[in-house]
């Protein structure tokens, strides 16, 4: 894969520092050097010590990534929301994990995406998960289609430049929900469980902002924006204020035949395309199980 830049500064600069400004790490430079890539300036191969001049054309060739041989193939079709040479945005169904685990090596979104890459005969078949969701959470997920894109999107995540919004159905003490509020409570591991998290002063800061959309005596639909990305953050925060998610048995939510998974859906993502700088905005309607339950709220 090739990327081209025009050096537009008037003062000279060493090529390696210019490449760093473009998000090319030392690790990626090593990959380019030792795995079949190349760096050229004005059509001539140069090393990173080259001194750039105004209007020099820099072309980077990054070697193909092949595939993760240990990631198994799952031929289940994926629901593609957006795709280009660098990104893949999909709508993940509930009851599907994001990535394989030791005792569940197949059946995840990563397995399904790899099979899709294989069917398309893409040169890059390594799976780069940018945003993941819990197994029982539905909604939008972002995959980078090569390591350079993944690295640049990770910078946006660290700088909190990803907007992630969710809708959830909550139960419990819903009468005390405010029209708009920020839950700011630290989250830590619960060492009495392999899975659970808990509110604890020793934990990491976690912020969840919510807006109340509608409610009745038993159920409320809330719109949520994450400002941090802790494991189980939404589930832990709403359980902490007495309003666990419907279907979330782990954190005390009501489970029955109408909702047997946490009623949580990532419906909106906003971020900047790592190469075109285009503002990207994706939305995805509630899945049928949540939509049917939400309709019961008059």
Residues acting as catalytic residues: 134
Rounded distance, CA 71 to CA 6, Å? 38
Beta strands in the chain (DSSP E): 2-6, 13-14, 38-41, 44-45, 51-52, 57-61, 66-67, 80-83, 87-92, 124-125, 128-131, 138-144, 163-170, 180-184, 187-189, 197-199, 207-215, 220-226, 264-272, 279-283
Q: Using alpha carbons only, how large is the chain's radius of gyration in Å?
A: 22
The token duo for 69 is 């041989």
Q: Is the Cα torsion angle 145, 150, 151, 156 positive or negative in sign?
A: positive
């Amino acid at each position: 894969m090739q990327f081209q830049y025009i050096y537009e500064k008037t003062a000279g600069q060493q090529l390696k520092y210019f490449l760093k400004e473009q998000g090319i790490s030392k690790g990626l430079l090593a990959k380019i050097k030792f795995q079949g890539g190349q760096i050229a300036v004005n059509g001539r191969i140069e090393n990173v010590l080259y001194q750039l001049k105004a209007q020099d054309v820099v072309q980077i060739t990054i070697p193909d990534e092949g595939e993760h041989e240990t990631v198994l193939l799952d031929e289940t079709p994926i629901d593609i929301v957006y795709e280009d040479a660098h990104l893949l945005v999909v709508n993940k169904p509930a009851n599907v994990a994001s990535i394989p685990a030791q005792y569940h090596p197949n059946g995840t979104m990563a397995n399904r995406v790899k099979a899709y890459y294989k069917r398309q005969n893409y040169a890059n078949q390594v799976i780069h998960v940018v945003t993941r969701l819990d197994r029982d959470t539905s909604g939008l997920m972002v995959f980078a289609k090569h390591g350079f894109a993944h690295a640049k999107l990770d910078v946006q995540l660290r700088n909190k430049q990803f907007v992630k919004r969710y809708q959830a159905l909550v139960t419990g003490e819903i009468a005390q929900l405010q029209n708009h509020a920020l839950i700011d409570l630290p989250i830590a591991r619960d060492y009495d469980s392999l899975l659970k998290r808990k509110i604890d002063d020793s934990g990491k800061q976690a912020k969840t902002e919510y807006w109340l959309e509608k409610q009745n005596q038993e159920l409320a639909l809330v719109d949520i924006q994450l400002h941090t990305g802790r494991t189980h953050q939404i589930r832990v925060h709403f359980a902490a204020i007495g309003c666990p998610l419907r279907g979330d048995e782990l954190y005390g939510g009501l489970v029955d035949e109408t909702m047997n998974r946490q009623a949580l859906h990532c419906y909106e993502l906003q971020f900047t395309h790592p190469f075109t700088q285009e503002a990207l905005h994706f939305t995805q309607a509630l899945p049928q199980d949540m939509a049917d339950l939400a309709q019961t709220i008059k």
